[in-house]
A and B are shown apart, each in its own frame.
Chain A
Amino acid sequence: MWIPFEKGGYMVSRIKERFKVLKERGEKALVAFITGGYPSLEVAGQMVLGLAECGADIIEIGVPFSDPIADGPVIQTASYRALQGGVTVAGILEMVRRVRQQSPVPLVLMSYYNPILQMGLHEFCRQAAQSGVDGLIIPDLPMEESVPLLQAAEPEGIDVVPLVAPTSNRERIAAICAQARGFVYCVSVTGVTGEREEINTDLASLTGSIRQCTDLPLVIGFGVGNAATARHLAPLCDGVVVGSALMRLIMEDSFDRARELVREIKSAISRQ
């Protein structure tokens, strides 16, 4: 499954390739989120590999930020501790480089805008691509402000994955999907990241609107914390993101249970 180059020397998008394989197998993607650098860069790197081994199809690595306005308490705490431990953007990219030497798993960085802006968008995208980053999710960068990043990412072959929210209307969804690369991240609830008892959004309608605008894979995230929720959402999407629930277990030092959760959810969304 490790196919780095296609004819012409252009890299095949690992994200695209992974969704293609999953589609052939009739499976949905499990996107596992971890905070980069928690509890340390070294351990986080090992966790990325471990989660990929037990069924995570794509790993989303959170770049810690001092003011994570889109995150709930669990990821806030993990980010804060990672920063206390001295984690930097360069450190995260170095971790990605080490992971990439050992695994072809697609890696998507989730970062707030300011840290990458400070490195310089072109410089960041160049280094990220060299490290083996496949995609970027920037939760505080709406489509109106995203042109500079898209221009920096495109030549490096990095997919900028946009978010669609329950509040997005049809015109916005169409415009967002037109900019999308890799996949579309559908935010399941209005709010911050974190596990939820139930999801009240009319996701059938929201995902339907997205499907009308793009053929790209559609991944649902925010609030997905267990197999039951994931199984319920699977028919509407091509993948789900599990973040806070994993980080909560990791922060409780229950890495075995985190791996178990990944296996459970992967299994729940694969038997449809």
Chain B
Amino acid sequence: MSINSFHALPDERGYFGDYGGRFVPETLMPSLLELEAFYVRLKCDESFQEELVHYLKHYVGRPTPLYFASRLTASLGGARIYLKREDLNHTGSHKINNTLGQGLLAKRMGKRRIIAETGAGQHGVATATAASLLGFECEIYMGEEDIMRQGLNVKRMELLGAKVNPVYSGGRTLKDAMNEAIRDWVTNVDSTYYLLGSVGGPHPYPMMVRDFQSIIGRETRQQIMEAESRLPDYIVACVGGGSNAMGIFHPFLNDGEVKLIGVEAAGRGLQSDKHAATLNCGRPGTLHGSYSLVLQNGDGQIQNAYSIAAGLDYPGVGPEHAYLLKSGRVTYTTAHDDDALEAFYLLSRMEGIIPALESAHALAEVIRLAPTLPREAVIVVNLSGRGDKDVDSV
């Protein structure tokens, strides 16, 4: 497969190479087909694109800055480090790019009710925000464990008018919240739009969420050209389900000279069972509607993932990432809880920016990488969210 064909995926069955597809109950299939057809039409609809651009500019505050982190660069003593400031978006993370896109789509489909799963609560808050702005009834599913460690976001969702439904099954985190959201969807499929938050799930979600998040990479491309008159040597992003990484990587997939690094959560170590490094340790399987890499035991039972970052502890990953791993286009590394914490503190004190613990995993990779590179090298790191939500966990 030639490198130029990256942008041609997924195929008509929703596959990125071997990965993707639609593994859902028949009840949902007609809706998925309808959604796909509707989305493909809207993608070329100028009035839809104008509406989305309008909200992204005037409501979200895009474009987000590409900030040269001079003190961090100087202290690490190597490559020049730029931060793509998705933390400065309204609601505090990249998630709003997708929730507004899908929210506007749901509006045009005539849906009245929106549901979503959330881990760290960032997607939940972004969904509740879009629902409030666009006038939807909104329910968010969130694992009880995550509710306890992300209290601020629970409060925010409630203030925005969403109902937060605690999920008590399994490990009580993102995976279990997603199970419950799918059960709601299968029950209320006619009235309800399922606003999936990452590049996982059945086709067309991985494609659609990637497209809505690709604004990150498109802006980055333009901004780095303005700042450095060339493309970066490295782009680094954290990967849970993989939406912020997919968003910043995608516009660069065909630029072979730009090295792309996804960083997974190694939690307490890959040798322990307390991690979320699906691309590094998972095997192919089906979970939540797509065929991708999955953390599972030998009997095909899905394992509970773990990370200090609630938005990363998911035992699956978007199928396009599995494909990019297999194709060799993207390298996927890992960062431990402790590495992420160190990066969290370093950026807070060095640049006056408190990053989300999720984004701190990407920073941890940059802290390792930058000193090994010459001073003229350029790294862009996707600072996918801000860390206010994490102050009680660190």
Contact = CB atoms under 8 A, between A and B. Distances in A.
Contacts of B303: 66
A88 B299 CA distance: 7
B286 A113 contact: yes
A117 B26 contact: no
Interface residues of B, number: 37
Given A114-B294, A142-B22, A167-B189, A89 B29 contact: no
Which of B28, B29, B189, B288 has most A Cβ within 10 Å? B29
Contacts of A143: 26
Size category, A interface: 35 or more
A76 B188 CA distance: 19
Nearest to B180: A69
B357 to A, nearest CB: 25
B193 to A, nearest CB: 15
B301 interface: yes
Which 5 A-B residue pairs are closest in the complex by CB-CB distance? Answer: A118-B300, A115-B300, A165-B27, A191-B187, A114-B300
A93 B64 CA distance: 56
17 contacts: A65-B301, A66-B170, A67-B170, A69-B25, A70-B183, A89-B300, A114-B286, A116-B300, A118-B300, A140-B25, A145-B23, A163-B25, A164-B26, A172-B30, A187-B26, A190-B187, A192-B186
Interface in A81-115: 83, 88-90, 112-115
Interface in B330-364: none
B94 interface: no
Contact of B288 (A69, A115, A172): A69
B36 to A, nearest CB: 12
Contact of A140 (B23, B183, B187, B299): B23
Contacts of A90: 299
A142 B29 contact: yes
Contacts, number: 118
B232 interface: no
A190 B190 contact: yes
Given A69-B182, A118-B299, 17 more contacts: A65-B300, A68-B179, A89-B300, A112-B286, A114-B294, A116-B300, A118-B298, A140-B24, A142-B26, A143-B26, A145-B22, A162-B26, A167-B27, A190-B187, A191-B27, A191-B183, A192-B183
Interface in B1-37: 13, 21-31
A114 B296 contact: yes
Contacts of A172: 26, 29-30
A66 B22 contact: no
A165 B25 contact: yes
Interface string B173-187: 001000100110011
Contacts of B25: 69-70, 139-140, 142, 163, 165, 187
Given A190-B190, A192-B186, A165 B26 contact: yes
Contacts of B24: 69, 140, 142
Contacts of A204: none
A270 B315 CA distance: 47
Nearest to A162: B26
B285 interface: yes
A176 interface: yes
B299 A167 contact: no
A119 interface: yes
A140 B286 contact: yes
A144 B287 CA distance: 17
Contacts of B28: 167
Nearest to A163: B26
A142 B24 CA distance: 6
Contact of B287 (A114, A165, A166, A169): A114
